[in-house]
Structure 1
Amino acid sequence: MRILIYGINYDPELTGIGKYTSQMAEWLAGSNHEVSMITGMPYYPEWKVNEAYRGKLWHTERKGGVRIYRSPLYVPKKINTPKRILHEFSFLLGLLPIWLFTLCQRKYDIVMYVSPPFHLGMWPYLYAKLRGAKFVTHVQDPQVDAAKDLGMIKSAGLLKWMFRIENFILKSSDAVSTISPGMLKKIEKKGIPSSKISVIFNSVDTNSIFPLLKEQSLAREFDLSLDDKVILYSGNIGEKQGLEYLIEASKRFRDRPEVKFVIVGSGAFKEKLLALSQQEHCSNVLFFPLQPNEKLSELMAMADVHLVLQKQQASDLLMPSKLSTILAAGGCPIVSAVPDTSLYKIIDENRLGIVVKPECVDTLCEGIETALTSDLKVYKLNARRFAENYLRTEAIMDKFENNLIKIVRSPASIKRELVDENNLEISN
């Protein structure tokens, strides 16, 4: 198949949506499909254009068997809602020359766009209509729902307009995929037929990310003792995570110098979090930059327990991408999730970690104390087994590839292939 993928985030971004889109595109290219990617200059999660791409405008390259078309975009130094909207629209408009070239020169079997941003789907929708390609939407993050539920956009009129565009794109798609059962249910409630929707979990390469001993970790490189109890948060430092509660929790462990809260990552909220940590004199909170993919196993092995935090309103909107890496490394996560959400069920029913109430310092501290004083062997064994059984790149991408083939060959027979939550059990 000739496949065109379109999204704002892509390699060499080390975390978030770009990481998984890159894995998807390169796997498809490695499976004898012709794959092209339309994207912007890499900037995430630092919100700064990658040094290797600064000063470039429209740019074409090839990597991992994928032809990559890049366009310039506005990247604000300080993030707020108006600047984020301007950032996304600058990308939408900057791509016009690339889309005109693509429309005139190339015919693809499938054009797939990765959301968010939600409104980017207009370009691939037009291409699919004019060139007769199949149009697929892959939802990594329900952006409009999150903007409403987290209070990021308060204008009822603007939200109504955003929901209308999102609904038009979803209903116009030949197929829709998303990354969790909870997000699938959200899409169904928007009036999208269940026959068009499938769940494709974010995959993890279990061959390159695997359990290691703490002695093999980055602990010494980070100037930590092997006797330290490390509470690790690694990933995007954004508003949705509620990381201010981590700072509050750290204050209750000040009298235990062996307990270290380690934050590895970058993002729009990092400066505020650093300032809050300094303001509260949290010397037991340490910040480090993102680590390259080849060091992820060593990074994960440094932790006694991992934090996967989200605000309450986002706990069934998002499936944290960092979770798959933690599970592959055989880590024990403390996950903030609301009961009856898909995230809560997956963690609780499979005994993958400790679930705590979102935005609650008391239960977070209780979870940390439980983790530090318990034998976590069962959780860690279950975590690795779950990753091997359900999140392995080969299994996830085989399913995704088969879905794409069905869309191209017999669109009327597209079937929903949702992983049954009741089958996500692992014997202990």
Structure 2
Amino acid sequence: MNILFLSLSDFSTIEEKGIYTDLMREFVSENHNVYIISPTEKWKDRPTKLIDKGSYKILKLQIGNTQKTNLIEKGVSTLTLESKFLKGIKKYFSDIKFDLVIYSTPPITLQKAVEFIKKRDNAKTYLLLKDIFPQNAVDLGMLKKTGIKGLLYFYFRNKEKKLYHISDYIGCMSQANVDFLLNNNPELSRENVEVCPNSIEPLIIEKDENRIAEIKIKYEIPINKTVLIYGGNLGQPQGLDFLIECLRANERNENMFFIIAGSGTEYYKLKNFFENENPKNARLFPHLPKDDYDLLANSCDVGLIFLDKRFTIPNFPSRLLSYLQASMPVLAATDISTDIGQIIEGANFGLWCESGNLEMFNSHIDKLCNSNLREQMGVNARRFLENNYTSKHSYEIIMSHFK
């Protein structure tokens, strides 16, 4: 089959590790002809070009700036995405007849590009639903359903419904996402909406105790404490006010230590907290060399997940996969709409509490300071990944519709 994959992820080879590159490698390994559009933002000053890797092709499409810019430029760039994708398809892939188009949210603004291929080639379309927008923006107060912001909401809600309408199949991250989508979009057919989870091609993580000690010494991390790591985006969706509460509450906990590593729009909150209060039981890293970060992350004892308690949509953070890959138990503090806590505790590879419940969070930390419990949960974590969240699983779910 000729497969077209549309994404906002910026990569120049599918040999990179990630939920989309791992999935595309699976399609290539199964002898499909894979074509990818992976944009690069204007501030990087890289003109549009087609990269031919033989078994697959990547169109590096220059788009406007959606990161490291102001809200107005980000909005304009987002609104012009589908016209740029459409032009790229017509210019570089005019002679290719596609059998299947796969695309992900965010963004929801690729609808016309998908619709063009669907009509031109009579192609099937598969949406990987990673983000339910604009409702997530309403939950966080970025948009409203009334006033000026209400006009924006209804514009994006209309785009969202059109994207669902042209999607032959919609793969959701979890069952809670399936239920939310069907309950809020009753016009959708239950037969066309399914669970197609975040997934990776798992690496074997070898834990060398000498290297672990070296990296901890290098970054001034205690050797003899249970180390909890939060790595990734530090933005509004993560509800970082509660993370700061947790840091304060465990300032004198002699058994554990926090590592926070990442960047995002709310990073300054954490930076101010560390500068003003200088917590002795935590370290904040804005950026680490990739090899050091990977080694450090895989040297920790517990992986942390935080989500803002205001969410009514069921988010399912992909950072869970890196924790499972490292055989690391998970401690999640989230809203009550997501089912990530049910999955974590149901498979016994971690613990969950509602974001804001500091007493339960601290109780869970005390339990996870038990090395025997952590070891068993770590084994369960890796087993769950291999049995449920591999790119092979996602590939087979998608291709089940074409056998």
TM-score range with shorter-chain normalisation? 0.7 to 0.9
- SS of the residue corresponding to residue 397 of structure 1 reads helix
Give yes or no for contact 1:327–1:383 (8 Å, CA) kept in 2.
Answer: yes
Partner of 2:207: 212
User: Is 1:235–1:290's contact at 8 Å kept on the other side of the alignment?
Assistant: no
Select which of 215, 219, 223 maps to 2:220. Answer: 223
Count of aligned pairs between the two proteins: 392
Provide closer, same or farther for how the CA distance between residues 401 and 91 of structure 1 changes in structure 2, counting only shifts above 3 A.
same
Query: 1:12–1:70: structure 2 CA closer, same or farther, 3 Å change rule?
Result: closer
**Is 269-278 or 184-193 further displaced after alignment?**
269-278
Within 5 Å, which residues of 2 pair with 1:245-284? 245-256=242-253, 259-284=256-281
Aligned Cα root-mean-square deviation (Å): 2.9
Say if 2:47 is the partner of 1:57: yes
Q: What residue identity is the alignment partner of 2:393?
A: A
- Kept in 2: contact 1:26–1:64 (CA 8 A): no
- Provide the residue aligned with 1:187 in structure 2: 181
Amino acid at match of 2:174: S
> Is contact 2:47–2:62 with CA below 8 Å preserved after alignment?
yes
Q: Which one of the candidate residues 156, 166, 170 is aligned to 2:160?
A: 166
Following superposition, the deviation at residue 145 of structure 1 comes to: 2.0
The amino acid that maps onto 1:201 is P
Partner residue, 1:28: 27
Change (3 A) 1:320 1:166: same
Q: State which drifts further: 130-139 or 365-374.
A: 365-374
Flag the structure with more relative contact order, 1 or 2, with Cα contacts below 8 A and sequence separation at least 6: 1
Give, in whole Å, the separation in 1 of the partners of 2:387 and 2:206: 16
Q: Secondary structure at the match of 2:4?
A: strand
Runs (5+) with no aligned partner, structure 2:
none
| 1:62–1:68 Cα contact (<8 Å) kept | yes
Aligned position for 1:364 = 361
TM-score (norm 1): 0.82
Structure 1 unmatched runs, 5+: 43-47, 407-428
What is the CA–CA distance in structure 1 between the aligned matches of 2:2 and 2:318, rounded to whole Å? 27
Alpha-carbon contact 1:216-1:301 (below 8 Å) kept: no
TM-score (norm 2): 0.87
SS at match of 1:313: coil
Residues 342 and 10 of structure 1: CA distance in aligned 2, closer, same or farther (over 3 Å)? same
Task: Find out whether 1:178 has 2:177 as its counterpart.
Answer: no
Measure how far apart 1:215 and its partner are: 4.3
Cα shift at 1:117: 0.7
Superposed CA offset, 1:67-120 (max 9, x none):
111222233665665443233224334334312225632211112221111121
Percent identity, aligned pairs only? 22
Contact kept in structure 1, 2:38 and 2:61, CA below 8 Å: yes
Q: Secondary structure at the match of 2:143?
A: coil
Aligned ranges 1:91-130 → 2 under 5 Å: 91-102=81-92, 104-130=94-120
- TM-aligned CA deviation for residue 12 of structure 1: 6.1
- The Cα offsets for residues 316-357 of structure 1, whole Å up to 9 and x where unpaired, read as 521110112211211111112355742122112221211111
Distance 1:311 1:256, change over 3 A: same
Per the TM alignment, residue 5 of structure 1 is displaced from its structure 2 partner at its CA by: 0.7
Give the AA of the match of 1:196. N
Equivalent-residue separation in structure 2 for 1:252 and 1:12 (angstroms): 43
